[in-house]
Amino acid sequence: MITLRDLYESGIVATPMMQMLYTMLSERSPSENISHKVMPSMPEHMKFVNSRPYKEWWLICVGEDAVGAIYLSKQNEIGVGILRRVRRLGYGQAAIRAMMERHPGERLAANINPENHRSIHIFKKLGFKHVQATLEWVR
């Protein structure tokens, strides 16, 4: 069904993949987002992606087409995103399962906005358990 293609494999991320990642980021609703509140500019996004911020970052592919991305942070936290036009087809769940298979026996986590009920359901369906709630105060 899906394959994972290493985003870091060639060194610098190619422009079409950079654009796909930026589109995916722009499609996120506030309930899906937990890491940032403001959409970065494309140059800021490119700098972030090319800084290799994660331990692993994979494109989720169906055939030759990238439909999303999944990463594993340096703290073993999974983040996953799927392009809006292909959501609800099981690609996110399949990618999470593939990441779990790549890291058997390791503790994996997922930080999910509490309003993102769809993602919470998918991770719980795969055996993840709720372990904490983080509260934020901003002046």
Mean pLDDT, each 10-residue run in order, the chain (139 residues): 88 80 87 73 91 94 94 95 95 97 95 90 96 82
Global pTM reads: 0.90
CA-to-CA distance for 138 and 96, rounded, in angstroms? 32
For the segment(s) 3-125, the CATH number from 3.40.190.10, 3.40.30.10, 3.50.50.60, 3.40.630.30 is: 3.40.630.30
pLDDT in tens, 20-55: 999 999 998 766 766 667 889 999 999 999 999 999
Would you kindly state where each structural domain of the chain is located, as residue ranges? 3-125
* Contacts of 120 by beta carbon, 8 Å cutoff, 6+ apart: 112, 114
